[in-house]
Amino acid sequence: MRTIDWVDGAIEIIDQTALPVEERVLRLTTVPELITAIQSLAVRGAPALGVAGALGVALAARLHADDDQKLADCVRAIESARPTAVNLARGARRTARRLPDGPDAALTEALLVRDEEIAASEAMATRGADLITELCGRAPRMLTHCNTGGLAAVVGGTALGVVLELHRRGTLRDVLASETRPLLQGARLTAWELTRAGVDFRVAVDGAGPFLMARGEVDAVVVGADRICANGDTINKIGTYAHALGAQRAGIPFVVVAPESTIDPDTPDGAAVEIEDRSGAEVTAGFPAANPAFDVTPHDLITAIVTDRRTIRPGSGDRPDS
């Protein structure tokens, strides 16, 4: 099943807050319902957010076709529901450009965004698995962070799509899924996806990753991205930077897998990105907390960025914007 889709005039999503305990579909029929789903992470992951932004504008177009002001307010609310993943605003703005042609044109554009993300997932899986095989030279032991599978896209995924492709090829030796504090996208969602795919794996606490690399138990780290800057700096789930440092110290490849739609040539570097700060209630029971949802991995720590169209090597001086 698709993580997010347009079904009979509304947006349907798999409710990621309920997994792995319950497999529940939410039907979103209003823009406020969509925004709540985005902010509560019922739908999440950069490519899925891009599709959510696009379908959200298409939904708004049907609901408020005769009220330009209301429609403009909806577009603004959707594109700013979460600030960090560039896909959300990009999907919403791209669809909004078709609003003058009417609701049907907006929906056609939104479905195109969806279909492009599906095609991108397939291309990244192949390119990424080829690269990991080339870099590791044997059936690799992989570590991945957060959730970057079909749940974070529409189907397929980014980094986890590469892991699953290696499994399909019969050349995957081991998978470590880091749990991803505080909302457990690794321990809940990646674990759910790997189980469904019949892949053996182990969950590791986030802090264990660099140590397991140092002990020689990981051949490559593969992660997704929420925004890739013009210079290759990569914003992804909090904890990614520590894994990149661990990989550098252990001398193993650190590979980012993301569609071209996650590259933002208008953001020069990681310092220019708004990092979402989430409620301290996700971290402590009433004590003060720091809860940045994402971090910045500097480009020089990244062996390669695999997109649906190319392989960029920021660690060797390549820039995504060239």
Residue 278 Cβ, how far from ligand MRU at the closest point, in Å?
8
- Of 51, 92, 100, which Cα lies nearest the Cα of 73? 92
Burial group, residue 54, by CB count within 10 angstroms (0-12, 13-18, 19+): buried
Closest separation in Å from C-beta 262 to ligand MRU:
8
Q: What is the total count of residues that contact ligand MRU (CB under 6 A)?
A: 19
144 binds ligand MRU (CB under 6 A): no
Quickly list H helices, the chain.
Answer: 31-39, 46-63, 68-79, 86-96, 103-136, 159-169, 191-196, 208-214, 240-250
Rounded to whole angstroms, how far apart are CA atoms 260 and 2? 21
User: x/- site string to ligand MRU, residues 34 to 73, per CB under 6 A?
Assistant: -------x--xxxx--------------------------
∠ Cα 150 152 158 (to 5°): 70
Shortest Å, Cβ 157 to ligand MRU: 6
Of 101-140, binders to ligand MRU (CB under 6 A) are none
Which residue lies nearer to ligand MRU by CB, 91 or 157? 157
Nearest-5° Cα angle at 198, 194 to 137: 80
Among 140, 224, 253, 270, binds ligand MRU (CB under 6 A): 224
* Nearer to ligand MRU among residue 75 and residue 225 (C-beta): 225
CB 238 → ligand MRU: shortest distance, Å? 8
Quick one: which segment of 50-58, 63-71, 110-118, 148-156 binds ligand MRU (CB under 6 A)? Answer: 148-156
For ligand MRU, which is the closer residue by CB, 147 or 248? 147
Q: At what angle do helices 86-96 and 103-136 cross, to 10 degrees?
A: 150
**What whole-number distance in Å separates Cα of residue 6 and Cα of residue 111?**
8
206, 226, 295, 308: the active-site residue: 226
Strand pairing report for 234-237 and 227-229 = antiparallel
Quick check: 91 and 48 in contact, CB under 8 A?
no
Give the Cα separation of 264 and 296 in Å (integer). 14
Within 172-191, the residues that bind ligand MRU by CB under 6 A are: 185
Nearer to ligand MRU among residue 47 and residue 253 (C-beta):
47
Residue 76 CB partners (closer than 8 Å, separation 6+):
none
Q: Near ligand MRU by CB under 6 A, which window of 69-77, 144-152, 198-206, 213-221? A: 144-152
Give the CB-nearest residue to ligand MRU.
224
- 226 is known as an active-site residue: yes
Q: How far is the CB of 316 from ligand MRU (least distance, A)?
A: 23
Tokens of 12: 């349907």
Instruction: Map the footprint of ligand MRU across residues 276-295, applying CB under 6 A.
Output: 293
* Least Cβ distance, residue 237 to ligand MRU (angstroms): 3
Identify the residue among 178, 236, 303, 307 touching ligand MRU (CB under 6 A): 236
State the DSSP string of 103-126: HHHHHHHHHHHHHHHHHHHHHHHH
Residue whose CB is less far from ligand MRU, 106 or 234: 234
Which residues have C-beta within 8 Å of that of residue 178, sequence separation ≥ 6?
A: 143, 144, 145, 146, 186, 203, 204, 205, 206, 208, 209, 239, 243
Q: Which residues are catalytic?
A: 226
Q: Which stretches of the chain bind ligand MRU, using CB under 6 A?
A: 41, 44-47, 85, 146, 148, 152-153, 157-158, 185, 224-226, 236-237, 293
